[in-house]
Amino acid sequence: MDKVRKADLVGLFAHLRDVFTEQREALITLDGRLGDSDLGITMNKGFNAAHGAVEANAADDLGKTLNGAGLAFAKAAPSTMGTLTGTGLMRGGKALLGRESLGTGEFALFWRAFRDGVAERGKAKLGDKTVLDVLDPIAATLEAAAREEASLSAALELAAQAAATALDATKAMKAQHGKAAVYQDGSIGVPDAGGTVAHLMIDAMRAFVTR
């Protein structure tokens, strides 16, 4: 797939929904280590709602559809990652208003806006062991790939790899935000739960495009 067209959006979100249905228990367990065990439920509910919204508004402008998916996500899954992911989707959608399909350049725009939206809303700094530590290299990698005019599948491969590396790097960090922050040094060694979600998202996009 060289581009994700408007008509493919429902399929992409169906895939995201499936991935997060499958990862439900794993994310519950992971969030249980430094948090309140709800992350699997949050993401499962959120992507169900997002998929539903995309399906319902498939005829809309692509950017508007993504924006609506974000709103639906935030409504369905209140909580830190629910609100952040919803915000990210909404901002990503806004950045794509008027586009007809998503190539490498559009993916870069989407993830940049997603990342910035999360940064603005969550006020975390890089290195604080949050989802931002994984979002940031995703956006940067896609922007570089766009500058080099890489194919969409090549770009997403690189971004997914960068996300995996960044996620691994969160293990060494000490949590500063949210429920994990109370663990202080105890949080070292465990990968960030929100970062894991970001990695799963970009990897799901990669799989959808390359399959």
Partner 1 sequence: MKKFLNKAEDFVDEMLDGIYAAHPDKLRFVADDRRCLVTARPVSGKVGLVTGGGSGHLPLFLGYVGTGLLDGAAVGGVFQSPSADQAFEVTRAADQGAGVLYIYGNYTGDILTFDMAAEMADAEGIRVLSLVGNDDVASSPAGEEHKRRGVAGILFIYKAAGAAAAEGMNLDEVLRVAEKARANTRTMGVALSSCIVPEVGRATFSIGESDMEIGMGIHGEPGIRRGPLRPADEVVDEMLGPILGELSLAKGDSVAVLMNGLGGTPQEELYILYRRVAGVLAERGVSVRKTYVGEFATSMEMAGFSISIMRLDDELARLVAAQADSPFFAQHQG
Judged by the rule CB under 6 A, the positions of this chain that interact with ligand ADP are 31, 35-36, 38-39, 42, 79-81, 84, 118, 122-124, 130-132, 177-180, 192-195
Beta bridge partners of 5: 101
d(C-alpha 13, C-alpha 72), whole Å:
13
Nearer to partner 1, 71 or 190 (CB): 71
What residue 132 binds from partner 1, Mg ion, ligand ADP, none (CB within 5 to 8 A, per partner kind)? ligand ADP
The item of partner 1, ligand ADP, Mg ion, none sharing an interface with residue 169, based on CB under 5 to 8 Å by kind, is none
The answer to whether residue 82 forms part of the interface with Mg ion (CB under 5 A) is no
Q: Is 77 in the site for Mg ion (CB under 5 A)?
A: no
Q: Assess 44 for contact with Mg ion (CB under 5 A).
A: no
Instruction: Mark 74-113 with x for binding to partner 1 (rule: CB under 8 A) and - for no binding.
Output: xxxxxxx-xxx-xx--------------------------
How many chain residues bind partner 1 (CB under 8 A)?
Answer: 24
How would DSSP label each residue in 12-72?
HHHHHHHHHHHTHHHHHHHHHHHS-S-HHHHHHHHHHHHHHHHHHTTTS-HHHHHHHHHHH
The neighbour count for residue 71, using CB atoms within 10 Å, is 17
Binding of partner 1 by 122 (CB under 8 A): yes
Tell me: does residue 146 bind partner 1 (CB under 8 A): no
Instruction: Give the residue carrying structure tokens 């000490």.
Output: 174
Taking the C-alpha atoms of residue 169 and residue 199, their distance in angstroms, rounded to an integer, is 12
Residue type, position 145, single letter: A
Instruction: Rule CB under 8 A: choose which of 18, 22, 25, 36 binds partner 1.
Output: 36
Query: What is the Cα–Cα distance from 56 to 66, expressed in whole angstroms?
Result: 12
Residue 25: exposure state from Cβ atoms within 10 A (0-12, 13-18, ≥19): exposed
Residues that bind partner 1 (CB under 8 A): 36-38, 71, 74-80, 82-84, 86-87, 121-122, 177-179, 181-183
Residues that bind Mg ion (CB under 5 A): 31, 35-36, 38-39, 79
